[in-house]
Chains A and B, each alone.
Chain A
Amino acid sequence: MRGHRDLQAACLAAVACALVAALVPWEIVRLAAGLPLTLFLPGYAIVAAAFGSRELAAPKRAMLSVAVSLMTLALGAFVLNIFPFGLETASWAVLLPLVVIAACRGAALRRERSQRGRAGRPALPRPATGSLVLGALAAAIALGALALAEKPLPAENAKGFTALWMLPTDEREDAVAIGVDSNQHDFHSYRLRVSLGKDQSKTYRVRLDPGEERVYEVDVPARAVGRTHVVASLYKAGDPQKLYRRVTSWLPRQMTFP
Chain B
Amino acid sequence: MQTRLESPVVIALLAAIGLFLCSLANALSRETLEPSQLIYWLGVLLIAVPIFLRLTSSGPSYRERLGLVLLLGLALYGVKVVHDAPLFTLSDEYIHAFNVQQIERFDHLYHFNPAISTSPYYPGLEGATSALTMLTGASTYLCGTILIGAARLVQMAALFFLFARLSGSARGAGLGVAVYTGTSNFLFWGAQFSYESLSLPLVCVVLMAFVEREEAPPRLRGAWTVPIVLGILAITITHHLSSYALAIIFVALAVLYRVMRVDKPNPWPFAVLAVGSAAAWLLIAAESTTGYLFPVLENAVKAIYETAFGDTEARQLFGSPSDTAEAVAGTPIGARAIALLAIAVLGVISLIGLRQVWRRERRKPLVIIFCAFTVAFFAALMLRFAPAAWETGNRAGGYFFIGLSFVAIYGTAQLLRRGPRQMRRRLLLTGALAVVLVGGAISGWSWDLQLARPLKASADGKDVFSEPLALAEFAKQRLDGSRFAAPEADARVLLFPGGQIAYGGQGPDIEDIVEEPQLRDWQLPLLERNHLPFLVADRRQLSGDTLRGQYFSVKNQYGNELRPQGVVHKFSEIPVGRVWQGGRIVLFNLRDRP
> Would you call A235 an interface residue if the criterion is a C-beta within 8 Å of the partner chain's C-beta atoms?
no
Given the contacts A37-B135, A67-B154, A158-B454, A149 and B27 also touching, CB distance less than 8 Å: yes
Q: Please give, as numbers and ranges, the residues of chain B lying within 8 Å of A60 by CB-CB distance.
A: 161, 212
Q: For A134, A141, A150, A255, which residue has the most chain B Cβ atoms within 10 angstroms?
A: A141
- Chain B stretch 562-581: residues in CB contact (< 8 A) with chain A: 574-581
In this assembly, does B513 line the interface, its C-beta being within 8 Å of a C-beta of chain A? no
**A100 interface contact, C-beta 8 A:** no
Would B223 and A51 count as touching, CB distance under 8 A? Answer: yes
A141 vs B43: C-alpha distance when bound (angstroms)? 13
B459 contacts which of A63, A72, A135, A211 (Cβ < 8 Å)? A211
Q: Are A63 and B158 in contact, CB atoms less than 8 angstroms apart?
A: yes
In B179-223, the 8 Å CB interface with A consists of 198, 201-202, 205, 209, 212, 220, 222-223
With a cutoff of 8 Å between Cβ atoms, the chain A residues found around residue B471 in the complex are 163
| Contact status B226-A141, CB under 8 Å | no
> Which single residue of chain A is at the shortest CB-CB distance from B559?
A159
Closest to A128 in B: B9
A27 at the interface (CB under 8 A from B): yes
B contact residues around A130 at 8 Å (CB): 9
A71 at the interface (CB under 8 A from B): yes
> Is residue A1 contacting chain B, with contact meaning CB distance below 8 A?
no
How many whole Å from B15's CB to the nearest CB in chain A? 7
Asked whether B464 lies within 8 Å of A253 as measured between CB atoms, the reply is no
Contacting pair B474 A165 (CB below 8 A): yes
With a cutoff of 8 Å between Cβ atoms, the chain A residues found around residue B23 in the complex are 144-146, 148-149
Interface membership of B371, Cβ < 8 A: no
Task: Determine whether the beta carbon of B555 is less than 8 Å from that of A88.
Answer: no
Interface residues of B in 116-163 (CB under 8 A from A): 123-128, 130-132, 134-138, 146-147, 150-151, 153-154, 157-158, 161
Those of B224-268 within 8 Å (CB) of chain A: 224, 226-227, 230-231, 233-234, 237-238
Query: Closest B-chain residue to A132, C-beta based?
Result: B9
- Is B58 engaged at the interface, CB distance under 8 Å to the other chain? no
Find chain B residues with CB under 8 A from A145 CB.
16, 19-20, 22-24, 78, 82
What residues of A have a CB within 8 angstroms of the CB of B66 in the complex? Answer: 59
Chain B interface SS verdict (over half): helix
| Any A CB within 8 A of the CB of B458 | yes
Cβ–Cβ < 8 Å partners of A151 in chain B: 27, 458
What is the bound-complex CA distance between A183 and B463, given in angstroms? 8
A122 CB, nearest partner CB in chain B, Å: 11
Q: Could you tell me if B581 and A70 are in contact, using CB atoms closer than 8 angstroms?
A: no
A47 to B593, CA, bound (A): 63
B109 interfacial contact with A, CB 8 Å = yes
Of the candidate stretches A5-13, A74-82, A217-225, the one touching chain B is A74-82
A210 touching B464, Cβ below 8 Å: yes
Q: How many B residues touch A, CB cutoff 8 Å?
A: 120
Closest to A64 in B: B227
A146-B582 contact, Cβ under 8 Å, with A89-B134, A210-B460: no
Q: How many residues of A contact B (CB 8 A)?
A: 104
Pairwise interchain contact A77-B86, C-beta atoms closer than 8 A: no
Q: Which residues of A contact B226 (CB under 8 A)?
A: 46-47, 49-50, 68
B75-115 toward A: CB 8 Å interface, digit per residue (1/0)? Answer: 10010011111100000000000000001001111100000
- In the complex, residue of chain B having the shortest beta-carbon distance to the beta carbon of A253: B592
Complex-state Cα separation, A238 to B518, whole angstroms: 34
Q: B458–A152 contact, CB under 8 A?
A: yes
Further pairs besides A77-B130, A167-B478: 7, Cβ < 8 Å: A66-B153, A87-B134, A153-B457, A159-B583, A182-B464, A247-B581, A250-B577
The chain A residues found within 8 Å of chain B, CB to CB, are 18, 21-22, 27, 30-31, 33-35, 37-39, 46-47, 49-52, 55-56, 59-60, 63-64, 66-68, 70-78, 81, 85-89, 92-93, 96, 127, 130-131, 134-135, 137-142, 144-146, 148-161, 163-167, 179, 181-187, 209-212, 227, 229, 245-250, 253-258
> Can you sample 23 A-B contacts with CB below 8 Å?
A21-B135, A50-B226, A59-B66, A67-B201, A67-B205, A71-B202, A71-B231, A72-B230, A73-B127, A75-B233, A87-B130, A96-B131, A134-B12, A145-B19, A154-B458, A158-B555, A161-B470, A167-B478, A183-B464, A186-B460, A250-B594, A254-B593, A257-B528
